[in-house]
Chains A and B, each alone.
Chain A
Amino acid sequence: MDTQAQGDTTTTRGDRIFYVVLTLLFVGLSAWSLSGETGHRFTAPDGTVSWLPVGRGPAWETLGVLVAAGLTLALYSFLYKDNPFFKAAEHIYVGVGLGYSLVIAWFQYIKAELYFPLVKYWVRDGVQGQPDYLLIVPLVLGLFLLARFIRPLQWLSRWSFAFIIGFGSGVAIPNIIHANVLQQMQSSMAAIEFGNVWLAANALCALLGVVSVLVYFYFSVEHKGAIGVVSKIGIWFLMISFGASFGYTVMGRMALFVGRVQWLIEEWLRIPLSS
């Protein structure tokens, strides 16, 4: 997207027509949907949605639907080509995404894990209970992380990174051995039930797939003779899996697209699709 954004900056007559049509489409359809008798969308505390006449209900939800519809159309305009509507929506999305992550990080990580058990006792009077002084360690390591902003003290952040990397590596070893290696191997080998031909064939297929793909990725021996045959079967399995994963991904994204179009029709244009 970036390459296209930098390389394609000229605006043709066709582009201008497209921008005008898109703007008119959004404004016109928004006005049409708002002009109905239904008025503002209102979600009651029990979750039921109703439509209140304009001027009698809360306008925030109506405004929200217009904003969301505008963003959706602006982002889909990229299907024509990279354009100012898309860029504006994309940049707003980046800013909101980071802001959202920061707010969540504050409430879930800093406030819940550091402020309530430790800092609250220092800044507020009369708080019951005992502060957890062990949390001074991550507080200090967190401040060391921020030392990256001060050039002479940048090296302090290495201590924090060393803790994070060391902890991640240490925890990963036993968990990965258990969940991703031993359990996967067990599931590949122990499920063969010879009483049921279909289940046995499926289990043998899975076993053959696991072994042949592992052989294909084993580069310490030359892929000739029996190894070559097995590795060839591994390639076939890989191709089937890549195709299946591709199809699954496309259909997943298509489902999202259908969901967005459905939302535009039902929420923005207020045309009920189902009774």
Chain B
Amino acid sequence: MLLKRTIPVAIAFVVGLWFAIQYYVPTSFSERSLTWASNWAKILLGFAYILGLYSLVHVHWQKIRRGQPGYGYSLLVYVGLVGTLVLGLSGEVQTLVDIATGKAHHFADFQAYSTHDKPIPNFSSGFDWVYNYVFYPASATMFSILAFFIASAAYRTFRARTIEAAFLLIAAIIVMFGRVPIAAAVHRAIPDVADWIMANPNMAVKRAILIGISLGTIATSLRIIFGIERAYLGGD
């Protein structure tokens, strides 16, 4: 009980309270402590990625092991993952081998970053290739596909049945139309109206929602610090 519940709650209390107060006590020690903790959080984030890796690998391994329908696609996840890791970390493996054997190896010299600890100017590594020709195009395409689904959903659901729905519809049409060059050709005020909607009513609502979310976040943070909210500890 002490190790499993009391100490974690105490850690959250001490760390949370310290960093809530630290902002208002700007001594050199408190500022250094913020720098330390920020770096520590980054390191923990790095370790957390390993948990994510395990989760994805485990899910797809179960599909492959059981021969579930579509398990071939899970193999493609492995191809993408292993390929990217090999290209990105082969230099690190080379460095490890160099340290272990005491001799310099060159099997990963095509990777600029890791073998030399810093990027070489104008050197395009295999990892860059994966980013430029696989990751970036796929990301941009995935996000752009959503334009069609959002537009299609809007076409089916947008109906100006009430005055509120009419406001929503008109604002959406003005902002969409105001963002294309032909709008200024139709009437030069349309892009200005679209900009005005974004900069005034829209910004006011975003501001109000941000204030509401922030008050909720502060309340939740206080509940965590004082041990009222313990969902992060999980079960038992």
Contacts and interface: CB of A to CB of B under 8 A. Distances in A.
A18 interface: no
A247 B175 contact: yes
A241 to B, nearest CB: 4
A240 B37 CA distance: 42
A256 B82 CA distance: 28
Contact of A256 (B140, B165, B180): B140
Interface string B145-169: 1111011001000000001110111
B196 to A, nearest CB: 8
Interface residues of B, number: 131
A257 interface: yes
A176 interface: yes
A82 to B, nearest CB: 11
Given A100-B84, A243-B175, A162 B79 contact: no
Given A167-B37, A239-B164, A101 B49 contact: yes
Instruction: Summarize A's interface: helix, strand, loop or mixed.
Output: helix
A170 B164 contact: no
B138 A89 contact: yes
Given A155-B3, A169-B225, A170-B17, A92 B203 contact: no
Nearest to B175: A247
A109 B43 contact: yes
Nearest to A256: B144
A236 B164 contact: yes
A51 interface: no
Most buried by A among B14, B22, B46, B173: B46
Instruction: Summarize B's interface: helix, strand, loop or mixed.
Output: helix
A145 B64 CA distance: 27
B11 A163 contact: yes
Contacts, number: 398
Contacts of A106: 46, 88-89, 92
Contact of A167 (B8, B9, B19, B144): B19
A20 B11 CA distance: 60
A240 B205 contact: yes
A244 B84 contact: no
A81 interface: no
A29 interface: no
Contact of B99 (A124, A164, A242): A124
A263 B136 CA distance: 12
Contact of A214 (B88, B208, B218, B224): B208
Interface string B95-131: 0000100000000000001100000011010010111
Interface of B: 3-5, 7-9, 11-20, 22-24, 34, 36-37, 39-54, 56, 69-70, 73-74, 76-85, 88-89, 92, 99, 113-114, 121-122, 124, 127, 129-135, 137-148, 150-151, 154, 163-165, 167-176, 179-180, 194, 196-215, 217-218, 220-222, 224-225, 232-234
Interface of A: 5, 9, 43, 45-46, 60, 63-65, 67-68, 71-72, 75-76, 78-79, 87-103, 105-111, 113-114, 123-124, 134-135, 137-139, 141-143, 145-146, 148-149, 155, 158-178, 180-181, 184-185, 187-188, 202, 205-211, 213-214, 217, 234-251, 253-254, 256-257, 259-260, 263
Given A239-B168, A244-B197, A253-B143, 11 more contacts: A72-B141, A106-B92, A145-B47, A162-B12, A163-B11, A166-B12, A166-B224, A168-B41, A202-B200, A247-B179, A257-B148
